[in-house]
């Protein structure tokens, strides 16, 4: 059974090894880009939620509550189906007659970005709230402009406190990226389904998918732990 497994999953002429590795690369690339976009969404949402402006607060809260209360799969379907029709409608108002179909990859990245952004916003907000008020006052009293204060005082500390939370969201989004298979990006899950279908060895393939996810999660987890140690190196040890 083990020999059979390695023959199916190996790198030989009939092996699926390279194909699975390429799919893993796609999963990592997809998650990293989605996560990167999510950081931008998350930072904007966190700023909007912390702002002294009722409208911005309501917008940010609506975004966060909707994303956290609606299944990710449903969000992915909505982003997938609506993005094309929205772009088509906008194009039609400017006089472009043909329907437009967006390529799948950017849609997938947007979906992952929207989802991870909501969770990251909470992480950033919590990290911002741990900054001591006196530090902000001190920065203001030496005459720092808001932009300078943001860059020199807020960003370094927020990132330091946010590292563990960001790591959690990364693990979460890595696993969510498997849902992207439903809209047709060939990442681990999609590739595994195809492999299982054409070889009639579903167990072999799905177990491999699980192992690949565990391996990626493990190594990135180690990376985040290192990053956490590095970012808190100047702080008092408990």
* Chain residues in the site for another protein (CB under 8 A): 65-66, 68-75, 77-78, 81-82, 85, 89-90, 92-93, 171, 175-176, 178-179, 181-182, 189, 192-193, 196, 200-204, 206-207, 209-210, 213-214, 217-218, 221
* Residue 202: alpha-carbon gap to chain centroid: 28
Minimum distance from residue 121 beta carbon to another protein (Å): 16
Minimum distance from residue 155 beta carbon to another protein (Å): 28
Alpha helix (H) ranges present in the chain? 2-9, 17-50, 54-69, 72-93, 104-129, 133-141, 146-149, 155-176, 188-199, 202-231
With a CB cutoff of 8 Å and minimum separation 6, the contacts of 221 are: 167, 171
Q: By C-alpha distance, which of 133, 227, 170, 206 is closest to 35?
A: 170
Q: Please identify, using beta-carbon distances, which residue of 110 and 181 lies nearer to another protein.
A: 181
Q: Please identify, using beta-carbon distances, which residue of 66 and 148 lies nearer to another protein.
A: 66
Q: Please identify, using beta-carbon distances, which residue of 93 and 141 lies nearer to another protein.
A: 93
Rounded CA separation 190/196 (Å) = 10
Secondary structure letter of residue 237 according to DSSP = P
Minimum distance from residue 33 beta carbon to another protein (Å): 18
For tokens 């880009």, the residue is: 33
**Residue 118: enclosing H or E segment and its boundaries?**
helix 104-129
Minimum distance from residue 215 beta carbon to another protein (Å): 9
Q: Please identify, using beta-carbon distances, which residue of 29 and 150 lies nearer to another protein.
A: 29
Q: Please identify, using beta-carbon distances, which residue of 65 and 130 lies nearer to another protein.
A: 65
Minimum distance from residue 214 beta carbon to another protein (Å): 5
């Amino acid at each position: 059974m083990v020999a059979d497994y390695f023959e199916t999953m190996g790198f030989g002429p009939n092996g699926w090894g390279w194909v699975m590795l390429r799919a893993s690369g796609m999963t990592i690339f997809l998650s990293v880009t989605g996560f990167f976009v999510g950081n931008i969404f998350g930072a904007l949402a966190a700023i909007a939620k912390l702002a002294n402006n009722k409208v911005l607060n309501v917008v940010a809260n609506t975004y966060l509550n909707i994303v956290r209360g609606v299944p990710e799969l449903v969000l992915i379907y909505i982003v997938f189906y609506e993005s094309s029709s929205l772009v088509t409608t906008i194009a039609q108002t400017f006089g472009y007659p043909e329907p437009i179909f967006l390529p799948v990859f950017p849609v997938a990245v947007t979906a992952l970005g929207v989802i991870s952004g909501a969770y990251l916003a909470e992480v950033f907000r919590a990290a911002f709230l741990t900054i001591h008020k006196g530090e902000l006052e001190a920065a203001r009293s030496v005459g720092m402009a808001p932009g300078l204060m943001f860059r020199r005082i807020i960003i370094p500390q927020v990132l330091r406190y946010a590292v563990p939370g960001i790591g959690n969201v990364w693990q979460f989004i890595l696993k969510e990226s498997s849902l992207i298979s439903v809209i047709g990006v060939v990442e681990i899950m999609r590739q595994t389904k195809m492999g299982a279908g054409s070889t009639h060895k579903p167990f072999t393939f799905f177990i491999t998918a699980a192992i690949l996810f565990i391996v990626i999660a493990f190594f990135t987890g180690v990376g985040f732990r290192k990053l956490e140690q590095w970012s808190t190196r100047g702080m008092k040890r408990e």
